[in-house]
């Protein structure tokens, strides 16, 4: 059978399951908050145009207002100054939007320490159990943070010292960017960098290194607990915003049950 016919048959039989990794996009969707003097993104909102009324008797529709980096979203290389000559979101080749994904679970570490940082040795340890990271694929970093995503306060977890959410060390960010075969790095938190990464040297090393290397970011993913450590296929659907730095994104995974 042609592979696509096999795929459709497997989807019908649910031997291939479709898992939605996307957070609901609504006014309450958490957004990152940068300290002064930096600019900030606005929350998502709907403005009703008509709803079966005088403004449009048979139709309901809205305008939307959103930042590019709201909710589950895709970071293009041009988002960071290190990637300023790289792809904008519309230039990301469509064949990169379907790629293998592995899941590294550090939810118990992040529960014990919200400032937990992924290190190269954690990845080496994972590889010794599960094999190499996928060439041209995603590393999805599970931290359990998705359960907080219905509350901006719990999700950002800020104190007087700023936000406290798990992330990646400077060295690990550089390794992911330059030594790993990955296409991109996906997280459950509001950004690919740790909450405290504004104080790292360099600041926001995950953004700086990965986007500078032409790699991609995916944020605020949900349901990573439903994916196997290896073998899932991730389909990401950012909008092709001409010149855009990123986009809210539908992220779904295909998982085979044998
Ligand atoms: C701008 C500045 C810092 C950060 C971010 C955006 C993000 O996390 C983002 O959504 O790309 S850390
Ligand atoms: Mn972003």
- The token pair at 170 is 């400077």
Band of residue 137 on the pLDDT scale cut at 50, 70, 90: very high
Torsion of the alpha carbons at 73, 74, 80 and 83, rounded to the nearest 10: 180
Q: Is the pLDDT of residue 32 over 90?
A: yes
Q: Residue 220's domain is classified under what CATH number? A: 3.50.30.50
Residue 193 CA: nearest ligand 1 atom is 12
Strand partners, 140: 103, 186
How far is ligand 2, taken at its centre, from the CA of residue 179, in Å?
A: 22
Domain count, the chain: 1
Would you say residue 41 lies in a domain?
no
Query: What is the pLDDT, as a whole number, of residue 157?
Result: 98
E strands, 54-115, are 56-65, 73-75, 98-105
Q: Is residue 203 part of a domain?
A: yes
Instruction: Please report, rounded to a whole number, the percentage of residues in the chain having pLDDT higher than 70.
Output: 100
201 Cα to the center of ligand 1, angstroms:
16
The pLDDT of 238-250, averaged and rounded, is 98
What's the pLDDT score for residue 58? 98
Percent pLDDT > 90 in the chain is 98
Q: What is the mean pLDDT of residues 123-144?
A: 98
Q: Give the environment of ion ligand 2: residues with CB less than 5 A.
A: 69, 75, 246
User: Who contacts 97 (Cβ-Cβ below 8 Å, separation ≥6)?
Assistant: 235, 236, 237, 238
Buried b (16+ CB within 10 A) or exposed e, 221-246: bbbbeebeebbbbbebbbbeeeebbb
Q: Could you identify the atom of ligand 1 that is nearest to the CA of residue 246?
A: 11
Instruction: Report the atom number in ligand 1 closest to the C-alpha of 217.
Output: 11
Q: Residue 252: which pLDDT band, with cuts at 50, 70 and 90?
A: very high
Q: Is 159 a member of any domain?
A: yes
pLDDT tens per residue, range 42-54: 999 999 999 999 9
pLDDT band at 11 (very low <50, low <70, confident <90, very high): very high
Predicted local distance difference test score (pLDDT) of residue 258:
87
Catalytic residue annotation: 79
Ligand 1 atom closest to the Cα of residue 245 is 11
Do the domain assignments include residue 46?
no
- Mean pLDDT of the 120-140 span: 98
Give the residue-averaged pLDDT of 59-73. 98
Contact 244, 76 (CB under 8 A): yes
Q: Which two tokens stand for residue 189?
A: 């938190």
Ligand 1 centroid to 56 CA: how many Å?
Answer: 39
Expressed as residue numbers, the domain containing 112 is: 3-25+68-256
Q: For ligand 1, say whether the CB of 191 is within 6 Å of any of its atoms.
A: yes
Q: Which two tokens stand for residue 240?
A: 């092709």
Let me know if residue 31 belongs to a domain.
no
Does any domain span residue 48? no
Q: Does residue 35 register a pLDDT over 90?
A: no
Look at residue 242 in the predicted model and tell me its pLDDT: 98
40, 207, 211, 216, best to mutate for ligand 1 pocket (most atoms within 8 Å of CB): 207
> Does any domain span residue 51?
no
User: How far apart are the CA of 190 and the centre of ligand 2, in A?
Assistant: 8
Is the CB of residue 69 below 6 angstroms from any atom belonging to ligand 1?
yes
pLDDT interval class at 238 (50, 70, 90): very high
Of 122, 115, 164, residue with least CA distance to 139:
122
* 256's tokens: 């085979």
- Could you tell me if residue 60 is inside a domain? no
Q: What pLDDT score was predicted for residue 29? A: 98
> Among the residues of the chain, which ranges form H helices?
3-13, 107-112, 120-130, 152-156, 170-178, 205-206, 212
Residues 183-224 have pLDDT tens digits of: 999 999 999 999 999 999 999 999 999 999 999 999 999 999
Ligand 1 mutation target, pool 29, 31, 32, most atoms within 8 A of CB: 32
């Amino acid at each position: 059978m042609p592979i696509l016919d096999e795929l459709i048959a497997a989807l019908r039989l649910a031997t291939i399951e479709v898992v939605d990794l996307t957070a609901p996009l609504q006014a309450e969707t958490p957004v990152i908050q940068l300290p002064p003097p930096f600019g900030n993104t606005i929350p998502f909102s709907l403005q009703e145009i008509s709803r079966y009324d005088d403004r449009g008797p048979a139709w309901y529709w809205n305008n939307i207002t959103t930042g590019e980096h709201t909710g589950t979203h895709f970071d293009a290389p041009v988002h960071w100054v290190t990637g300023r000559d790289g792809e904008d979101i519309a230039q990301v080749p469509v064949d990169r939007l379907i790629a293998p994904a592995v899941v590294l679970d550090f939810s118990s570490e992040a529960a014990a320490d919200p400032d937990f940082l992924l290190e190269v040795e954690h990845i080496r340890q994972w590889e010794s159990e599960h094999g190499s990271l996928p060439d041209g694929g995603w590393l999805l970093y599970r931290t359990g943070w998705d359960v907080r995503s219905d509350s901006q306060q719990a999700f950002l977890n800020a104190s007087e010292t700023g936000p406290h959410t798990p992330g990646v060390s400077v060295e690990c960010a550089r390794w992911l960017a330059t030594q790993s075969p990955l296409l991109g790095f996906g997280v459950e938190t509001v950004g690919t960098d740790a909450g405290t990464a504004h104080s790292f040297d360099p600041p926001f090393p995950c953004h700086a290194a990965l986007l500078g290397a032409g790699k991609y970011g995916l944020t605020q993913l949900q349901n990573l607990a439903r994916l196997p450590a290896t073998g899932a296929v991730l389909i990401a659907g950012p909008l092709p915003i001409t010149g855009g730095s990123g986009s809210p994104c539908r992220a779904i995974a295909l998982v085979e049950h044998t």
